[in-house]
Chains A and B, each alone.
Chain A
Amino acid sequence: MKKRTQLILAVAIIAIIAVSIAAYYYLTVPPERTIKIGLVASLTGPGSAEGADMQRAAILAVEEINAAGGVYVSEYGRNLTVTLEIGDDKTKPADGVIAVEELIKSKNVDVLVGGLSSSVTLASQVPAIDNNVPFVITGASTPQVTRRTDKNTSYMFHYCTIIDDYSETIVKFLNHTVRPTLIDEGRMDPERNLRLAMLVRNDAYGIGCYDTTVRFINDLGLPIEIVEYQKFEPGATDFTTQLTLIQAAKPDAVYHAGLTAESSNLVKQGLQNVGLKTIYIAVEVCQTPQFYEILGSWGDYQILESKFGSKAASYSDAVDTYIANYMQRWKDAQGNPIIPGMMGADTYDAIYLICKAIENAGTLDKAKIRDEIENIEMDQMLIMMKNGMIWFDQNHEIDPISFIEQMTWNSTTSQLTTYIVYPDSLKQRDFELPPDYENEYS
């Protein structure tokens, strides 16, 4: 073959390859745009029980939305499906930052949802703040996530109860219900204050619970005094010494602020190891299947502040439907029914409100989505709101109704169930003292 022929052949081959590549890029349909929601959850570490619940609820919400045809986004002139990207913060601040950065930079999420532990979320929200990604926080209870002054939190929204709400509900319950019960049953002198002990996690959440309790007792002028205040490190498994000191203070009730595993174990150890037979009040963070599972019969007569009663008798059609769908969905997937938890309920609602905001915005532009979340107004879903509507106030916080549940052990089914005992407007039965209850009058 002559050199000239070889040259022509080589040029022809290069030309065919170049044309083929160009044709590929011009003719191939670009990947379909979806709405990418990034879920930040603690799938490992002390918050894994709550994180797993958030993950299950988020998957259910996305499946329901996609099954209904997705979300109409006018900029695209059609309905877009929703995809869920999940980041594990490992219940550690540093890992939370890594998880959020990966969701933003590698997965290119449009909006973030989730965030469990207060200390973890205060760290993990920073990349979202710096990159102007809307973040609907559904787990961390410190109000600082939307009120911090060192960062611009205009893209942060708080779709869960804050620490102030826990403490306000609990001190009001103690004053309105527990104190009169103790007086009626001759367990307390009407002239003295109710003696409250607190055992809290040594972080923004636990210490915040203590600070707000003191504040509400003082602000409302309630006849309650804190007779013992103890802390434990996050992830602790042994609470016996702290509980022994609390026992020595002879409290009428113990308010404890931990994550699921911590709170359920401290109640068990208090009753089982230390013999501190009192009323233990947990906060809604513990509204998870694992809480009831660890407690077992030790949970009989114990108290949980909440805003989502997965074990309570029926109080809302929306909640009943959600519980049935959730249990069926995860029974199908994992072989056994799993009871939904509260943080999952927050996350489920938040995904619906995010999709509504995107539909209202008609675009996936983050600034416009932020504006629509800020101005959202939609009917309440699983979490009951004081005016029946989901909306955010000037602090980007919601206004939920929280209540107090009392657990009851059913020895036939070997299950704990709960009843709402406060406030009166939601009450399903009267609060009862545990039969073996002891305080300074015992």
Chain B
Amino acid sequence: MPLEISLSTLVQIVIWGLINGCIYVLLASGLNLIFGVMKVVNFAHGEFMILGGYVSYWVSIYAGLNPYFSIFVSIGVIGIVGVLTERVCFRRVLGTSKLNEIVLSLGLIYVLQNAMSVLWTDKERQISSPFEFITVHFEIININMRLDLLIVIGVTVLIMAGFYILIKRTKIGRAIRATSQNRSAAMLMGINVEYMDMFSFGLGTALAATAGTLLAILFPALYPQAGAMPALKAFTIIVLGGLGSTIGAIVGGLAYGLAESSAIAILGGTWRDAIAFAILILVLVIRPTGLFGEKEA
């Protein structure tokens, strides 16, 4: 088919890219935080995202809570699950061997997936939004947008602003950054790095839970095995943005979302997931430190 895209179509494609990008930003920021502080590659991060979506799904169904408010419950529950996971699992193997950490997080994938299968079956689910039938018209670009899409953008901005302030403007944020930059020096300065590990892991999984809830409001993407591909994309994003960089995760997430929708528009829908690997290879070849990563001394 000849590629003739009008302005409104182009704007819509950009919007779809940014909306997916919002989900990726939340997911990648959590993964980046965990990696930055603990230097642990948590392959099970996508499963925490889906688990977060399921918690919101349950809360919105059984407690009748608006799904956007159920995010707070999900953040709390998955944050605690994350803290326990760090305390019970990762702390035991931290510093032993990278292989142990990898095997542990790969094992967690299967444990979490099977637990979710038992609790919620393999059926695809979607969180029902009270704003499902409401659309907003933008006269200038002549497009209608579902209200939920705008709310997802708004929630992401709020959560990421809060996260940024926490990391950059608070005492605990400074401690997290110090631990991330130099673990030994942080310890010598009196920072309890084990507490920082626990807090970062909990916060990282809580961000994943937010991503899972928003994803499940927009798409029927809630099934136990659904976390694998988003987690892989989150890895690509943190490599693209630069390992450990918060701004890198935000820019990388949005850029990845745009790249994905552009790939579908230009190359076709079959390129949707392949683009992750293409970007990963390109970044590793051209700029291994990513967009905002710093070269090691």
The answer to the question of A236 belonging to the interface, with a C-beta cut-off of 8 Å to chain B, is: yes
Which chain B residue shows the least CB distance to A269? Answer: B219
A261 and B220 contacting across the interface, CB-CB below 8 Å: yes
Question: Least Cβ distance of A243 to chain B in Å?
Answer: 9
* Residues in chain A near residue B273, CB distance under 8 A: 233
Contact at A244–B269, with CB atoms within 8 Å?
Answer: no
**B interface residues, how many (CB within 8 angstroms):** 34
Chain A residues in 8 Å Cβ range of B149? 273
Instruction: Give the chain B neighbours of A248 by CB distance below 8 A.
Output: 4-6, 9
Question: CA separation between A240 and B149, bound complex, in Å?
Answer: 12
Q: Which residue of the partner chain, among B1, B124, B265, contacts A237 with CB atoms under 8 Å?
A: B124
Is B221 close to A, CB under 8 A?
yes
Q: Which residues of B contact A45 (CB under 8 A)?
A: 122
Of the 9-residue stretches A3-11, A78-86, A142-150, A224-232, which lies at the interface with chain B? A224-232
Within 8 A of A (CB), among B1-52: 1, 4-6, 9, 12-13, 16-17, 20
Contacts of A287 in B (CB 8 A): none
Quick one: given A248-B6, A261-B124, are A241 and B265 in contact (CB under 8 Å)? yes
Q: Given the interface contacts A202-B269, A231-B268, A238-B219, does A48 sit within 8 Å of B1 by beta carbon?
A: no
Q: Shortest distance in angstroms between A205's beta carbon and chain B's nearest beta carbon?
A: 15
Contact between chains at A233 and B272 (CB < 8 Å):
yes
Instruction: Give the distance in Å from the alpha carbon of A111 to the alpha carbon of B16 in the complex.
Output: 48
Bound complex: CA of A319 vs CA of B144, how far in Å? Answer: 43
Q: Would you mind naming 22 contact pairs between A and B with Cβ atoms under 8 Å apart? A: A44-B122, A202-B270, A228-B1, A230-B269, A231-B268, A232-B270, A233-B269, A233-B270, A238-B221, A241-B13, A241-B264, A241-B265, A241-B269, A242-B264, A242-B269, A244-B9, A244-B13, A244-B16, A244-B265, A265-B219, A272-B133, A274-B12
Are B124's CB and A244's CB within 8 A? no
| Chain A interface size range | 20 to 34
Known A45-B122, A230-B268, A272-B146: A294·B12 in contact at CB below 8 Å: no
Q: A265, B269: Cβ atoms under 8 Å?
A: no
In the bound complex, residues from chain B placing their C-beta under 8 Å from that of A265 are: 126, 219-220
Q: Does B194 reach chain A (CB closer than 8 Å)?
A: no
Q: Chain B: which residue is nearest A247 at the CB level?
A: B9
Docked complex Cα distance between A101 and B144 (Å): 52
A229 to chain B, nearest CB (A): 6
On chain A, the residues within 8 Å of B133 by CB distance are 272
Within 8 A of A (CB), among B261-293: 261, 264-265, 268-270, 272-273
B220 touches A294 (CB 8 A): yes
With a 10 A CB-CB cut-off, give which of A229, A248, A265 has the most chain B CB atoms. Answer: A248
Q: B136 → chain A, closest Cβ, in Å? A: 11
**Listed residue (B9, B226, B264, B273) with the most chain A CB atoms within 10 angstroms of its CB:** B264
Q: Quick one: closest B residue to A244, CB to CB?
A: B12
Is A426's CB within 8 Å of the partner chain B?
Answer: no
Measured between beta carbons, the chain B residues less than 8 angstroms from A240 are: 16
Point out the residues of chain A lying under 8 angstroms from B220, CB to CB.
237, 261, 265, 294
B135 touches A (CB below 8 Å): yes
Contact A232 B16 (CB under 8 A): no
**How close is B236's CB to chain A, nearest CB, in angstroms?**
17
B132 adjacent to chain A (CB < 8 Å) = yes
* A241-B124 contact given A228-B1, A230-B268, A231-B270, CB 8 Å threshold: no
Whole-angstrom CA separation of A236 from B4 in the bound complex = 25
Distance in angstroms from A347 CB to nearest chain B CB is: 20
User: Does A19 belong to the interface (CB within 8 Å)?
Assistant: no
- A69 located at the interface, meaning its Cβ lies under 8 Å from any Cβ of chain B in the complex: no
B123 at the interface (CB under 8 A from A): yes
Instruction: State whether A237 and B221 are in contact (beta carbons under 8 Å apart), knowing that A229-B1, A273-B146 are contacts in the complex.
Output: yes
A245 within 8 A of B: yes
Chain B 183-208, CB-CB to A under 8 Å as 1, else 0, gives: 00000000000000000000000000
| Extra contacts besides A237-B124, A275-B143 (4): CB < 8 Å | A245-B9, A245-B13, A248-B4, A290-B123
Residues of A within 8 A of B268 (CB): 230-231
* Cβ distance B212 to chain A, nearest Cβ, rounded Å: 13
Q: How far is the CB of B280 from chain A (nearest CB, A)?
A: 18
Q: Which of B211-255 contact A (CB under 8 A)?
A: 218-221, 226
Q: Which residues of A contact B6 (CB under 8 A)?
A: 248
CB distance from A151 to the nearest CB of B (A): 27
Cβ-defined contact, A272 with B219, below 8 A: no
- B1 contacts A232, CB within 8 Å? no
Chain A 218-266 interface residues, beta-carbon cutoff 8 Å to B: 228-233, 236-242, 244-245, 247-249, 261, 265
**Nearest CB of A to B7, in Å:** 11
Chain A 389-425, CB-CB to B under 8 Å as 1, else 0, gives: 0000000000000000000000000000000000000
Q: Is the CB of B269 within 8 A of A275?
A: no
